Chains A and B, each alone.
Chain A
Amino acid sequence: MLVWSKSGRALVWTFAGLLIGIVYAAPLAIIAMASLAGEWNGVLPTKPTLEHYASALSGASGEQLQASLITGAVASLVALGLGTWAALALRAMAPLPRRILDVIFFIPSAVPSVSVGLGLLVAFSRPPLLLNGTTTIVFIAHFVLISAFTYGNLSAGLARLPPDYEQVAESLGARAFYRLTRVTLPLVLPYMLAALSLSFAMSMGELGATIMVYPPGWVTMPVGIFALTDRGDVFEGSALTMLLIASTLAMLLILSRIPTKAAPR
């Protein structure tokens, strides 16, 4: 519509196709290829094999998939609960304290993940709470880093909610708890699912804070991938990366399939 001539359009499309191909398609394709490579001496890999996937799914790497999935599920569910709670509570407040608290709940998203990890290390390596070297500290790190995003999604969702439904329910005599569970929460369910998807995906890919705090028995996939590639096992690292991508996308797909009564927007 901006470019009218046929040749001009072909030129623009070729340019865009090349650009998007080089920037986005090539990296994914190359990792997929590396994960299947038996040998890679020339330009393209040779001797395709599924060996790297087999070793990524068994033994230490297999445990990493499990650790990542559990960490992601726990952290994002807790973040969803508390984020929804905070967003609902803030809605009922006066404008000024509400704006201040809004900033406070958002701040964790602005702090570098490595610093969040360092803070947890410093804070929980001393009494009263000794958590250094436990799995809990990994969960906490992930929760802190994703909490702002769940809160943000939910408060955006609540802000878009027309107040009519709740007011009608209230005027018909619905108590606060009934109103919350039967009217408000079903209406923001799409936003809750979106928040859950985003925070689960973030947790699956989290590296900076995890690498600071993880105990030997709880290695998440990103940390494992770094350990593999750092010591030169790039093909198995690629296979584990493909598994990380696949499990993240699968979870996003599952969550997007959950039917909600209220469609977003």
Chain B
Amino acid sequence: MADATLARLSRPSVQTDSFWVIPPLLVLAVLFFYPLSLIATQAFTNGTGPVSLTQFGAVLGSAVFRSALLHTIEISISASAGCLLLGFVIALVLSFAPFPGARVVARLIDTFIALPTFLIALAFTFIYGSAGVLNGALIGALHFETPPIDFLYSPWGVILAEVTVYTPFVLRPLLATFSLIDIAQIEVASSLGAKPWRVVREVILPAAVPALLAGGSLCLLLTVNEFGIVLFIGAKGVITLPLLVYDKAIQEFDYTAACVIALINVVLSLALYFVYRLLVGRLGGRRAGLV
């Protein structure tokens, strides 16, 4: 009875409130969707000409673009896999074998989400760079002719930096999921003689699948779009799509090529984003603290 009254009371306001969405929508349309549509226009018309696909042909045919696309996909998939692995291991220890101060450590790792990504790339050049700490120590101790550690300037450098930066995005939903697992379940399994890694495989891992899927697809999206890390490491042979867009537009002033590449990058990202939303929607990941 009371519910029905309340429903009737709030009904009229629902109708009028719909108009309120127009101002923020308008702002987004002018500042985001209009520029995005101009990228598409420029990509298809070369600025002012008739609609044609010649620009696409030129870009798709170039070796630089194909290598950038391959690197983007390679780096994104490897980094996301790395995030899942590292995130799972850290979450396991923090949740099920917590050391004193584990909560503080979890919060500190979480604040990495708020820090700029290039920070890690910069740190990596100090640690693993050709003039970095490790190479300096190894050359000093073992008298190498050339720096023995040179992974930083291969795709591996970018992959490892991205694993560091994006693991907190997997850790967050995993810790939320693990906090819901009944500890008694694990203790019973252990007391019945199950070895730790069997408990992990048969009890913890199945429960973690939704969080892993959601976190992993978010990592795919973020790593495809990552720019700062690739720019800061600045390896000549490692160019990804966002970096190529920057190079074409800012270094070469070739806006049409930049727009074609940007459009392809945006389509790739949006596809990954909808996969992510689908997974999160299916699995209720919003409750796990994901955006």
Contact = CB atoms under 8 A, between A and B. Distances in A.
Nearest to B273: A110
Contacts of B219: none
Contacts of A24: 108-109, 112, 164
Contacts of B227: 112-114, 207-208
B124 interface: yes
A124 B35 CA distance: 8
B200 to A, nearest CB: 7
A14 to B, nearest CB: 10
B225 A122 contact: no
Interface in B198-254: 199-200, 221, 224-225, 227-228, 231-232, 234, 241-243, 245-246, 249-250
A207 B121 CA distance: 13
A114 B38 contact: no
Interface residues of B, number: 93
Contact of B35 (A112, A122, A252): A122
Given A23-B86, A119-B38, A205 B270 contact: no
B164 A27 contact: yes
Given A92-B20, A107-B270, A241-B122, A252 B136 contact: no
Interface string A24-60: 1011101100100000001110000000000000000
Interface string A100-134: 01011111111111111011111110000000000
A152 to B, nearest CB: 4
Contacts of A176: 13
A147 interface: yes
Contact of B115 (A42, A89, A205): A205
Of A149, A202, A205, A237, most B-chain CB atoms within 10 Å: A205
A233 interface: no
Contact of A26 (B21, B38, B123): B123
B245 A115 contact: yes
Contact of B32 (A108, A112, A245): A108
B25 to A, nearest CB: 7
A124 to B, nearest CB: 8
**Dominant SS at the B interface?**
helix
B93 A92 contact: no
Contacts of B266: 111-112, 115
B255 interface: yes
Contact of A27 (B34, B123, B255): B123
A171 B6 contact: yes
Contacts of A183: none
B43 to A, nearest CB: 10
B14 interface: yes
B112 A119 contact: no
Contacts of A121: 249, 255
Interface of A: 1-4, 8-9, 12-13, 16-17, 19-20, 23-24, 26-28, 30-31, 34, 42-44, 82-83, 85-86, 88-90, 92-93, 97, 101, 103-116, 118-124, 140, 143-144, 147-149, 152-153, 156, 159, 167, 170-171, 176, 197-198, 201-202, 204-208, 211-212, 222, 225-226, 229-230, 234, 237-238, 241, 244-245, 248-249, 252
8 contacts: A111-B225, A112-B269, A115-B265, A140-B31, A144-B31, A167-B10, A176-B13, A229-B232
Given A20-B109, A112-B241, A229-B232, 12 more contacts: A19-B90, A30-B126, A30-B127, A88-B20, A92-B17, A93-B21, A111-B225, A115-B262, A118-B262, A120-B35, A156-B286, A208-B228
